[in-house]
Amino acid sequence: MDDKSKTRQSLRQNLLEQLTRNELEGDEILQIVASSAAIADFFDDYLVNEIFAAIEPDELDWNAGYFDRQRKLAQNNFAEKRISHLIDVREYLIRNDIAGFAKAPVTGRTEGTNIMNMQGYLPGANLARMVEQGVTSMVRSALINELENNRLEDNEINKTVAWTQERVADLFVDYEENSLAGKMNNDPSQWDADYYDLQTSYLNSNFAKVRFEHLITVRNSLRLQGVKGFEHIIIKPKTQPQPKSQTAPRPHSDASSPPQPGFLRIALMAGGALAVLAALVMSLL
């Protein structure tokens, strides 16, 4: 087995391992899966026969035992369809607080968070983890990751900023301009993807709140113009009838969705398990 084959196998094993842990969000794993689709011969063809059972679309059949069986099948039939299905099942089990899948609540100060109507807001797993670790530079990288997530609307980004700033006192610095952090241009007619990337690099050098808010505005403007890479991604729920449940339905994973712009780069900065997966993907592309 050559080095590339070993790396490919390592990425597969890491993906399967992360499915059994609650460290990463389902969307983060899905982004890695979508990025991995560009790797030649990474995924197997989806097989259904006397050895490999088909996936069950009905949530009534989803439990911890079913998840374990499908995960074992994926070890020998590493099909994109199976992995995406496992993400769906994992998220369903997490939502329903099934033993071994329930997420621990995020701790932290909550006073003052109702100013922006924060009711129902939950931070992304990666951001919450970085806040808990208390490393400001990693928290900032996680915030940029949220900004790069095209599934999030502007109001969700603003809530993320408010939630994070409440918990990280030194999150933002004073605005300044220097050789590494230039001026902001308030003329929307001159905003494009290159300008957004430039301002992101300025933000990394001068993490001022006004710069972050400026990027939110630019991002929204480019989205409204339909600029490629900034389109709002909406994952539609399954169309088949769902059993009645007190749990609200959620959009199911769609591995055919393209990875977010700059996702692998941001994932590397985030550190932890996500950075490991991103590094493995990038080494195979």
Let me know whether 20 and 77 are in one domain.
yes
187 within some domain: yes
Is the pTM here over 0.75, yes or no? no
Averaged pLDDT for residues 110-138: 70
Model confidence at 72, pLDDT cuts 50, 70, 90, reads: very high
Model confidence at 115, pLDDT cuts 50, 70, 90, reads: very low
Cα–Cα separations (whole angstroms), residue 274 to 33, 36, 79, 173, 263:
12, 13, 21, 27, 10
Distance, in Å, from the CA atom of 80 to the CA atom of 116, rounded to the nearest integer, reads 39
Closest CA to 133 of 23, 35, 209, 222: 23
Q: What was the pLDDT predicted at 98?
A: 85
For residue 270, the one-letter residue type is: A
Q: Please give the residue range of the domain that contains residue 186.
A: 120-224
Give the number of domains in the chain.
2
Averaged pLDDT for residues 98-125: 58
36 within some domain: yes
17 within some domain: yes
Closest CA to 32 of 232, 200, 197, 279: 279
Taking 80 as the threshold, does the pLDDT of residue 284 lie above it?
yes
Distance, in Å, from the CA atom of 81 to the CA atom of 57, rounded to the nearest integer, reads 12
Let me know whether 48 and 140 are in one domain.
no
Distance, in Å, from the CA atom of 244 to the CA atom of 222, rounded to the nearest integer, reads 39
Distance, in Å, from the CA atom of 160 to the CA atom of 201, rounded to the nearest integer, reads 20
Tell me the average pLDDT of the chain: 82
Averaged pLDDT for residues 115-121: 59
Q: What was the pLDDT predicted at 194?
A: 92
Let me know whether 75 and 133 are in one domain.
no
Averaged pLDDT for residues 216-239: 80
Let me know whether 126 and 217 are in one domain.
yes
113 within some domain: no
Task: Concatenate the DSSP letters of all residues of 229-272 into one string.
Answer: T-PPP--PPP-S-----SSPP-PPP-TTSPPPTTHHHHHHHH-H
229 within some domain: no
Let me know whether 38 and 83 are in one domain.
yes
Distance, in Å, from the CA atom of 51 to the CA atom of 239, rounded to the nearest integer, reads 29
Averaged pLDDT for residues 34-61: 93
Residue that wins the pLDDT comparison between 89 and 284: 89
140 within some domain: yes
Let me know whether 220 and 257 are in one domain.
no
Which tens digit of pLDDT belongs to each residue from 249-273?
444 444 444 554 467 777 766 666 7
242 within some domain: no
237 within some domain: no
Let me know whether 140 and 207 are in one domain.
yes
Let me know whether 215 and 125 are in one domain.
yes
Residue that wins the pLDDT comparison between 187 and 116: 187
